[in-house]
Amino acid sequence: MSISRRKFLGWMGAAGVVGATSETARAASNKQFKGYADSNAVLHDMTRCIGCRRCEAACNTVNELPAPERPFDDLKVLEKQRRTTAQAYTIVNQHFPDGSGRPPVFVKKQCNHCLEPACASACFVKAFTKTPEGAVIYNADVCVGCRYCMVACPFDVPAYEYHKALDPKIMKCTMCHPRILEGKLPGCVEACPTEALVYGKRDELIRVARDRIHTFPERYLDHIYGEHEMGGTSWLYLTGVPFASLGLREDLGNKAAGEFTSGALGAVPIVIGLWPVLLTGIYAINKRKEKIAAEEQAAAVASAVAQTRDEAEGRLKAAMEKAKQDEDAAVAREVKKALEEAAKARQDTGQTGSGDEGQA
């Protein structure tokens, strides 16, 4: 391991800082985006909406969607709360925020064309694009059909063609992007008989909305829904009753979707950078421990072997010496025996032979 201790601590510090403040990570990982300057939007003034469903009909026509089960002039449909589906990019819901005796309030739902869309941030093949014109458009040619965009969208907008076996698509309002490029109005805006929908530059529409709130303070709440929600949207809403009572969530906060994930994304390079180093370090430490243990063991074995060898040698030497002594003793004994025998033999022959000798 060749990293210095100081360098290592530096890395750890960096990891701690980035991990603790996701802002830092965000700055490092993806840039802050506050929407295109001159982008367009739609202002939906619910105090003007009469729930005629002509926007729904127009949307169906311009997008060539399948004919609905019940015709668009059947207002009984409004009795049930609905959401956008693969067959309807937009729907109008009816609410009775002041009790059933009072006049209803109608809300048109469709994609809000967020300035920093959750769907786009979530899609792992970049199928969604926020266009400079304002629309968030979808590209079916790369879509895998994982439906993570549906999980991510805070407004529950994207729908899916569950009935299609092999080529299902995500279906959602396009803000009529093709028509906008042709210089036309979005289908629903064009069809609205009361100007409850107005299309224009977003900045301008916010001014218009402020004006209305200012001029008719008893008619409107002082809140343009969509100005800041989830980082801001290109569909803006005005009403006189609390938005939450109309199915427009007020607990979403003003942070754009990307801000919730930037911390986790910022951690990726840290893990990639730090983990191999740490793990190799741990491995090296263990390897070293093992090596030292092995060396100690080897040393112990060696010394044991040496000791045994010394002992063995000692014993051998002793044995040899003893053997030598024994041998010497044996030789001496043998010699002695032989000498004795020889002497004895000589005596015997001397006794008999002396007579012979004397005779000779």
Residues that bind ligand SF4 (CB under 6 A): 58-59, 62-63, 89-90, 110-114, 117-119, 122-123, 125, 127, 136, 143-149, 153, 155, 157-158, 170, 172-176, 186-188
- 5-20 and 22-29 helices, crossing angle to 10°: 100
Cβ distance to other proteins smaller for residue 244 or 323: 244
Residues 10-39: x where in contact with other proteins by CB under 8 A, - otherwise, as a string: ------------x-------x---------
| β-bridge mates for residue 160, sequence order | 170
Residues 280-319: x where in contact with other proteins by CB under 8 A, - otherwise, as a string: x-xx--xx-xx-----------------------------
Contacts of 50 (CB under 8 A, 6+ apart): 106, 193, 194, 196
Nearest-approach distance from CB 291 to other proteins, in angstroms: 11
Cβ distance to other proteins smaller for residue 67 or 272: 272
Q: Which positions from 164 through 183 interact with other proteins, judged by CB under 8 A?
A: 164-169
Nearest-approach distance from CB 150 to other proteins, in angstroms: 4
In Å, the largest CA–CA distance within the chain is 179
Nearest-approach distance from CB 329 to other proteins, in angstroms: 56
136, interface contact from ligand SF4, other proteins, none, CB < 5-8 Å by kind: ligand SF4
**DSSP 8-state code for residue 20:** H
260, interface contact from ligand SF4, other proteins, none, CB < 5-8 Å by kind: other proteins
Cβ neighbours of 51 (radius 10 Å): 17
Cβ-count burial of 103 within 10 angstroms (0-12 exposed, 13-18 middle, 19+ buried)? exposed
Contacts of 46 (CB under 8 A, 6+ apart): 105, 106, 107, 196, 237, 238, 239, 240, 246
